[in-house]
Amino acid sequence: MSISPKLFLNHLLDNNVDFFTGVPDSLLKYLCLCIDNNTEIRDKHIIAANEGSAIALASGYYIGSNKIPLVYMQNSGLGNAINPLLSLTDPEVYSIPMIILIGWRGEPGVKDEPQHIKQGRVQLNLLESMELPYSVISSKNDNYKDIIDEGLKHIKDNLAPYVFVIKKNTFSKFDNNNKENINEKLILKRETVLQKIIENISDNSIIISTTGKTSREIFEIREQNNQSHENDFLTIGSMGHCSSLALGIAKANPDVNIYCIDGDGSMIMHMGSLSMVGQQMPKNFKHILINNFVHESVGGQNTASNIINFDLLSKSMNYKNYSFANNESTLIQMLNDFNQHSVGPSFFEIQVQPGSRSDLGRPTTTPEQNKLDLMSRIDELSKK
Query: What's the confidence (pLDDT) of residue 159?
Result: 98
pLDDT in tens, 148-193: 999 999 999 999 999 999 999 999 999 866 555 555 678 999 999 9
- Nearest CA-CA partner of 72 in 84, 49, 54: 54
pLDDT score of 384 more than 80: no
Looking at the DSSP bridge assignments, the partners of residue 134 are 163
Triad 96, 99, 104: Cα angle to 5°: 130
Q: How far, in Å, CA of 112 to CA of 268, rounded?
A: 26
Query: What's the confidence (pLDDT) of residue 177?
Result: 64
pLDDT band for 382, please (50, 70, 90 cuts): confident
- Nearest CA-CA partner of 72 in 99, 106, 42, 33: 99
Q: Is the domain covering 5-166 a CATH 3.30.1640.10 domain?
A: no
Query: What's the confidence (pLDDT) of residue 298?
Result: 84
> Which residues make up the CATH 3.40.50.970 domain(s) of the chain?
5-166, 190-382
What are the residues whose beta carbons fall under 8 Å from the beta carbon of 160, sequence distance 6 or more? 89, 90, 91, 95, 96, 97, 133, 154
Percentage of the chain modeled with pLDDT above 90: 89
Percentage of the chain modeled with pLDDT above 70: 98
CA atoms within 13 A on the CB side of 133: 18
According to CATH, the superfamily of the domain at 190-382 is: Thiamin diphosphate (ThDP)-binding fold, Pyr/PP domains (3.40.50.970)
Q: How far, in Å, CA of 210 to CA of 214, rounded?
A: 6
Q: How far, in Å, CA of 273 to CA of 317, rounded?
A: 10
Q: How far, in Å, CA of 189 to CA of 352, rounded?
A: 5
- Other CB atoms within 10 Å distance of the CB of residue 16: 9
260: enclosing H helix or E strand: strand 258-263
